[in-house]
Amino acid sequence: AALREGYERFDPRAYLQNNYLPPRADFSSEEFVVPWKLRCLAETFASGEIHGRTLIDVGSGPTIYQLLSACDHFEEIVATDYLAVNREELGRWARGEPGTFDWSPFIQHVCKIEGRGEPWQEKQRRLRARLRRILPIDVHRPDPLGAPLRPPADAVLSAFCLEAVSPDRAAFARALAHVGSLLRPGGHALLLGALGESFYLAGAAR
Ligand code: SAH
């Protein structure tokens, strides 16, 4: 209940500002978390082992950086979040509306580390075209989307969500099992997250 209440004050703009603009968004060294995350994802998808029709991203928040390498390997990307404010922010970006967060430094960095010489605008266009569904989700429910995903996902990705929304390890394990129900047998689950953090800030939400 305390976690849910905290998320009611979550401010997407403040979250983006805190985590995805300088000084945190520093691409100059792999010591920083942003280039580390992008490198993890680029290397994971560069293996060529993880591909299919649908990838579902759990707890997308207002961010798309986690989909930049993934989107080359799936026909459809499904983004999800618990909060309508985050889903709306993502929808505005996907439709290319003016005034949305500028992800171009992230897209340029990913194109650079993927090393295919792809123009960043091309990757942005592809992700927007493939990001066709942005759905509500609650990982604490056995049926997180309220209905089964059909067909089930070939891959589930979740970045900085399950551990951030679970009060303890048992709740984390249950949430992981709930999210696993969205995946086809033999599919891939990709988790990216933080250890040893007891809180983070998103405006008034702590
Ligand atoms: N994936 C993004 C956002 C992580 S922040 C990133 O990498 O930056 C954690 C996200 O979990 C927030 O967007 C929040 O709205 C979402 N969330 C909160 N409670 C949730 C729940 N019960 N089920 C799913 N997502 C939840």
Structure tokens of 90? 């993502």
Cα Rg of the chain, angstroms: 16
Most confident of 16-30, 65-79, 188-202: 65-79
* Cβ burial, residue 14 (10 Å; 0-12/13-18/19+): middle
Is the distance from CB of 134 to CB of 87 less than 8 angstroms? yes
Q: Which residue has the tokens 């303890």?
A: 168
Of 32, 28, 114, residue with least CA distance to 69:
114
Structure tokens of 6? 């905290």
Nearest protein Cα to ligand 1, atom 23: 138
Question: What is the pLDDT averaged over residues 181-185?
Answer: 98
- Output the average pLDDT for the chain: 95
150 confidence band (pLDDT: 50, 70, 90): very high
The response to whether residue 165 sits with its C-beta less than 6 Å from ligand 1 reads: yes
The response to whether residue 66 sits with its C-beta less than 6 Å from ligand 1 reads: yes
- H helix or E strand, kind and range, residue 179: helix 169-180
Q: Model pTM?
A: 0.97
30 confidence band (pLDDT: 50, 70, 90): confident
The response to whether residue 164 sits with its C-beta less than 6 Å from ligand 1 reads: yes
Q: What is the dihedral of CA 46, 51, 55, 58, to 10 degrees?
A: -40
The response to whether residue 145 sits with its C-beta less than 6 Å from ligand 1 reads: no
Residue 161 Cα, ligand 1 centroid: separation in angstroms? 5
Per-residue pLDDT tens digits for 117-141: 999 999 999 999 999 999 999 999 9
Q: Which of 82, 143, 197 should be mutated for ligand 1, with most atoms under 8 A from CB?
A: 82
Nearest protein Cα to ligand 1, atom 21: 138
Residue 5 Cα, ligand 1 centroid: separation in angstroms? 13
The response to whether residue 139 sits with its C-beta less than 6 Å from ligand 1 reads: yes
Report the CATH fold assignment for 1-192: Rossmann fold (3.40.50)
Question: What is the pLDDT averaged over residues 195-199?
Answer: 87
Quick one: angle between helices 84-94 and 12-20, nearest 10? Answer: 70
pLDDT at 141 (0 to 100): 98
Please report how many Cα atoms fall inside a 13 Å half-sphere around the Cα of residue 184, on the Cβ side: 14
Per-residue pLDDT tens digits for 61-98: 999 999 999 999 999 999 999 999 999 999 999 999 99
Residue 125 Cα, ligand 1 centroid: separation in angstroms? 25
pLDDT at 206 (0 to 100): 85
Listed by start position, the domains of the chain span: 1-192
